[in-house]
Structure 1
Amino acid sequence: MILAQNHQQQLSGNKYWIIVLSALLLSACSPKTRPVAKKPEPIKEVEKIEKPAEKFKQANISLLAPFRLNEIKLKAATKADVEKAAMAIDFYQGFKLGVDSAALLGQNFKLKVYDTQDNNSQLSSLIDNGGLVGSNLIVGPVFPDGLKYMTNYSISRNIPIVNPLAATQPSEFANPNLISIVNNIDLHAEKIGNYISKNYNPATTVIVLINPKGANDEVFAKPLRTYFANTKKPFTFQEYASVFTLETRIVKGKQYVIMVSSSDKKFVIPTLDKLMKLKKTGLNTSLFGHPDWIKQNYNTDQLQALNTIISSSYKVDYTRAEVNKFIKKYRLLFNFEPGEYAFKGFDIGYYFGRLFSIYGEDYLKHLTKENYKGLHNSFHFIHDHELGYINTSLMLLRYKNFALNIVE
């Protein structure tokens, strides 16, 4: 059974019930007695039969998302008003389809959906009125401030809470019950570092970090720098504020692996232009870009010529039958094309719904054992006693043939 609540508003859904009845039949027989003197037999101890554990009948999931319905007046709504809620609606619709699909495995679900309005006072009211009581899993809020606000409630009630969209470091929440879906930037740096260490020869390779040293640039630069400072392989490591500084330090005959820590288009575009000029003069180079490049538009010819690789936690493969099946179903139900957040929502809804269907209330014990290749994301969780469960599944994508192809 799937219920959705927004100020107690109910949405329709499928209902799946499993009722298991067990009966223990006991029979007793009274022996006949005869007036014959006989030594009494010792009393036999009656075997104790334990009552079977009650089957987990229903998974209670609470979804907290910023629909901001309080700000939208449908009759007078502008496109901007609707777009504010589009992400939450897209995610919810994908999530519900995921849970519906998991319900086909035989589990019964109760899904409550709340509009957080991206406001902590709304979360406070939700906690005070007991709306989350009995939840086996809370998904959301989707923004870091809301997740931080929910930390005490999650810990005090020992309820797992999913961070579905924010790439924030788990250490910022300090919640042992947190389940982090999106890979943090340190994991991206480690993925790139491991690939370089495995595929390049330290004797002939120079590792260069291009870091303009802005606050946002340093977020990615720091873990990259740390990785190569601690690696056991003796790479030559250099760091420059721009490729224009690098130009005067190039050593002929060396392989240059260049990592750019910035996603500022005003910086990246001239960087790519300059690297192309250096390549034409004979520079042997491979380029590793910022993870955000996957959402930005750069010259594809340049990216391919520079052997560019970026790390990513997601990629939709439209040749897969499962992907096209989801798209058709989404179109049929909602008359829209599924966006990025619909895919994310489906993967999260189906993954956790499947765990509930197989393991019931013990689903958390199997989180680190159950890997998942989804429509959009893949999951491989590790567990930290202080930081909770962290998804470490990442891929590397290379620009080739005017497409992003999986390298690893």
Structure 2
Amino acid sequence: MTLAQNHQPQLSGNKYWILVFMVLVLSACSPKIRTESKKPEVPKEAPKTTKPAVRFEQASISLLVPFRLNEIKLKSATKAEVEKAALAIDFYQGFKLGIDSAAASGQNFKLKVYDTRDDNTQIGTLIDNGGLLGSSLIVGPVFPDGLKYITNYSISRNIPVVNPLSAAHPGEFANPNLISIVNNVDQHAEKIGSYISKNYNPATTVVVLINPKGSSDEVMAKPLRAYFMQHNKFNFQEYASVFTMEPKIIKDRQYVVIVSASDRKFVVPTLDKLMKIKKTGLNISLFGHPDWVKQNYNTEQLQTLNTVVTSSYKIDYTRSEVNAFIRKYRSSFNFEPGEYAFKGFDIGFYFGKLLSIYGADYLNYLSKERYKGLHNSFRFIHDDKLGYINTSLMLLKYKNFALNIVE
């Protein structure tokens, strides 16, 4: 499959408009807001500016996010409740800026925004009221239960649905119209296994999986174990901790240690023990859980252990496009953009451009168009049963007190 590199689209000075429906309480009538605004700078790699055979007069996108504005009370809300609401608002605002930028081509968009309240009953009411009819694309719901609930509707109406935030395996949804943005755990395991296979000598390397065997630990351990059982050229061992591994160490071997846990109470003593083992002269390379990217561990230890982690995303603050987005977000909302604002922008801009360029045929180009975004990169493959799956995944290594892209 040939995947084309994309170039920065020209931003014209022409004005455009976007019709936004903000539906916070589902009803027969929805307020209409017509907006005009300046367009933020966009990433340098974006879908090609080739004219579509049939262009939409108005591309309709439905965004389903759990604002839960009907029930949240800031004075009494828990931290988790506030974070959920903040996630939805941050994602929506970034998504809106992405659509704004995609509209630079002159395409008209109808962006319908619905508060799902993280409640399938609300989604059902929305479907029954015909709110999603005519959608060229549905983005969300953001949580797996909502995505499962909307599957039958997506299939019956043949409307593509973007899974924007969940890392759940697409096999859980059985929706051939699903577009999965976030890499699932099997992809992370495959990336680690493939890198080890390419860069280490099986004759002198022992691959050790440290798996404390909790339910969350096994999620990562299972595909890693399966990979090395299938590619059995390495001496593969599995232990519940580095403490039980230590007595079995062979001094003249290279050790590649993979930790499937993300529980800080387990990880911190694991790093301490690996440092002590390394000081005895053992050659160790460490591969960590993807969640380590968001967690705060001793960077000096991580560097000394040559630690590598997989990640779906990385924001490079030296890029002009990233800083232009930050300025635009501050100007528009008087807040700093969070992680979900960046995610929202990339999804909004990428799919907005596809709809603008290719019209009703945009799905035919989804697996042909690469995109290097502000936060995520997209490179989709298509599966007849699982839908479209983003395969763009990075390996990051701790070096010079920063995470640097290895692959």
> What is the CA–CA distance in structure 2 between the aligned matches of 1:100 and 1:89, rounded to whole Å?
16
The SS at the match of 2:369 is: coil
Task: Indicate whether 1:91 and 2:113 are aligned.
Answer: no
AA aligned to 2:143 is F
Which residue number in structure 2 is paired with residue 57 of structure 1? 57
Pairing of 1:206-221 with structure 2 (within 5 A) = 206-221=206-221
Which amino acid is 1:13 matched to? T
Aligned to 1:3, the other structure's residue is in SS state strand
Task: State how far apart, in whole Å, the 1-side matches of 2:259 and 2:78 are.
Answer: 36
SS for the counterpart of 1:104 is helix
Aligned length in residues: 370
CA distance in 2, matches of 1:169, 1:105: 34
Tell me which amino acid in the other structure corresponds to 2:377.
S
Tell me the C-alpha RMSD between the 2 structures: 1.6
Q: Which residue of the partner structure matches residue 151 of structure 2?
A: 151
Q: TM-score, normalised by structure 2?
A: 0.88
Alignment partners' CA distance in 2, 1:54 and 1:91:
30
AA partner of residue 225 (structure 1): R
Deviation of 1:283 after TM superposition, in Å, equals 1.0
CA deviation after TM superposition for structure 1 residue 77, in Å = 7.3
Q: 1:253 to 1:168 in 2, by over 3 A?
A: same
Matched residues in 2 for 1:9 and 1:94: separation? 21
Shift of 1:84: 3.6
Aligned position for 1:354: 353
Higher-Rg structure is: 1
Deviation at 1:321, TM superposition (A): 0.4
Distance in 2 (alpha carbons) for counterparts of 1:103 and 1:77: 40
Aligned to 2:36: 14
How many Å separate the matches in 1 of 2:354 and 2:362? 5
Partner residue, 1:49: none
**Structure 2 vs 1, CA of residues 300 and 381 (structure 1 numbering), >3 Å: closer, same or farther?**
same
Which residues in structure 2 correspond to 1:285-300 (within 5 Å)? Answer: 285-300=284-299
After TM superposition, give the deviation of residue 129 of structure 1 in Å. 0.5
Q: 1:15 to 1:271 in 2, by over 3 A?
A: closer
1:15–1:108 CA contact under 8 A, matched in 2: no
Aligned to 1:381: 380
CA distance in 2, matches of 1:251, 1:203: 13
Specify the SS of the correspondent of 1:404. Answer: strand
Query: 1:206, CA displacement in angstroms?
Result: 0.6
Q: CA deviation at 1:11?
A: 3.8
Query: 1:229-280, CA deviations, whole angstroms, 9 ceiling, x for partnerless residues?
Result: 1126x11111111101111011111100000001111111110000000000
Q: Are residues 210 and 130 of structure 1, via their aligned partners in 2, closer, same or farther at CA, if it must alter by over 3 Å?
A: same
* Equivalent position SS for 1:257: strand
**CA distance in structure 2 between the aligned counterparts of 1:54 and 1:102, rounded to whole angstroms:** 17
Give the C-alpha shift of residue 327 in structure 1. Answer: 0.2
Distance 1:263 1:54 in 2: 48
Contact 1:2 1:14 in 2 (8 A): no
- Check if 1:281 corresponds to 2:285: no
2:344: which partner in 1? Answer: 345
Q: Indicate the larger mover: 179-188 or 54-63.
A: 54-63
Distance (Å, rounded) in 2 between the aligned partners of 1:269 and 1:298:
7
Aligned partners of 2:58 and 2:110 also within 8 Å: yes
1:255–1:317 Cα change, 3 Å: same
Q: What is the letter of the counterpart of residue 351 of structure 2? A: F
What one-letter code is carried by the residue in structure 2 that aligns with 1:59? A
**Cα contact 2:396–2:405 (8 A) shared by 1:** yes
Aligned twin of 2:311: 312
Equivalent residue of 2:221, what SS?
helix
Is residue 164–residue 180 contact of structure 1 (8 Å, CA) maintained in 2?
yes
Q: What stretches of structure 1 of length at least 5 have no aligned partner?
A: 17-52
Aligned residue for 1:184?
A: 184
CA shift in 2, pair 1:407/1:212, >3 Å: same
Report the TM-score when normalising by structure 1: 0.88
Give 2:403's aligned residue.
Answer: 404
1: CA distance, partners of 2:82 / 2:296 = 25
Q: What's the offset of the Cα at 1:301?
A: 0.8
Contact preservation (8 Å) 1:356, 1:363: yes
Judge conservation of contact 1:2–1:15 (CA < 8 Å) in 2: no
Are the equivalent residues in 2 in contact too, given 1:91–1:343 (CA < 8 A)? yes
Distance 2:381 2:253 in 1: 38
How far apart are the structure 2 equivalents of 1:243 and 1:79?
37
Matches within 5 A, 1:189-208: 189-208=189-208
- One-letter code of the match for 1:350? F
Q: 2:180, 2:388 within 8 Å by CA — same for their partners in 1?
A: yes
Distance in 2 between the 1:356 and 1:55 partners? 8
CA shift, 1:3, in A, is: 1.1
Q: CA deviation at 1:71?
A: 1.0
- Residues 54, 360 of structure 2: 8 Å contact kept: no
How much does 1:72 deviate?
Answer: 3.4
CA 1:54–1:345 in structure 2 vs 1: closer, same or farther (change >3 Å)?
closer
**Mapped contact 2:68–2:118 kept (Cα < 8 A):** yes
Report the secondary structure of 2:189's partner residue. Answer: helix
Q: Does residue 222 in structure 1 map to residue 239 in structure 2?
A: no
Counterpart in the other structure of 1:38: none
| Matches of 1:368 and 1:54, distance apart in 2 | 19
Residue 395 in structure 1 maps to residue 394 in structure 2? yes
Residues 15 and 55 of structure 1: CA distance in aligned 2, closer, same or farther (over 3 Å):
farther
User: In the aligned structure 2, how far is the partner of 1:77 from the partner of 1:354?
Assistant: 41
Deviation of 1:83 (Å): 3.7
Counterpart residue identity of residue 20, structure 2? L
Instruction: State how 1:66-81 maps to structure 2 within 5 Å.
Output: 66-72=66-72, 80=79
Q: Does 1:105 align with 2:105?
A: yes
Offset at 1:56? 2.3
